[in-house]
Amino acid sequence: MREIVFDTETTGLDPQSGDRLVELGCVEMVNRVTTGRTYHAYFNPDRDMPPQAEAVHGLSAAFLSDKPRFVEHAEEFLEFIGDSPLVAHNAGFDFGFVNMELAACGLEPLSRERMIDTVALARVRHPGAKNSLDALCTRYGIDRSHRTKHGALLDAELLAQVYVELTGGRQIGLELAADSTDTLVASISVIVRERTFRPARPHSASPEEKAAHAALMATFPSPAWGNPADRIQE
């Protein structure tokens, strides 16, 4: 099963207010294993770079000024991703920017049915925990020491490792396919043992048992467990 893990960098948070896509990074996975094929590109947004955004990814307006526009590489990007499922962290954000750029090119948007959101997966797997990419890398022991700033390709490569852990980890030697987690869950059978109802056993003594007990008690001249009143009279 082929999947594409991807990430974006932008000029801000809202494509509807004029923010633009400036970097795309994609990593190809087959059966949850990276193949080494990637797609990476910077884009000239034709606008300034807000200081807050530059502080996150380090991409300045000067650096991006000689880069191609998204429209120049839109078809190349679409060819790379094909019809594969698309994995992203907080995927709605990335889909929003990519689809805005595609619409500006007169191209069809990416269907959100293809979207796999690792934030949603992490919230199910680790409810109540911090589920940023950095936090997940720390939780799973994934080295991110080279990540001094956000970068689309670097973050996609880290996310590919996180995605494997979120979906069950690598099953070395078992040759499990990409849907192995679902398959394993579906294959687990729950054995319900039928128990036969048994009525409670009677606990009161029979007349014969009471008579035998009385005969035994009569052999003791003054049993410690006898009637306290009887002992006093003696």
Please pick, among 57, 126, 146, 150, the residue that the annotation labels catalytic: 150
Q: Are 110 and 86 in contact (CB under 8 A)?
A: yes
How many whole angstroms separate alpha carbon 203 and alpha carbon 205?
Answer: 7
Tokens describing residue 113? 């049915």
Tally of CB atoms within 10 A around 68: 12
Task: Tell me whether residue 57 is one of the annotated catalytic residues.
Answer: no
d(CA 158, CA 162): 6
CA distance linking residue 187 with residue 195, whole number of Å: 25
Beta bridge partners of 7: 25
Neighbours of 77 (CB within 10 A): 18
Strand order in the sheet with 2-10: 33-42, 21-30, 2-10, 86-88, 115-117
Please return the burial class of 88, using the count of CB atoms within 10 Å of its CB with bins 0-12, 13-18 and 19+.
buried
Residues classed as catalytic: 150
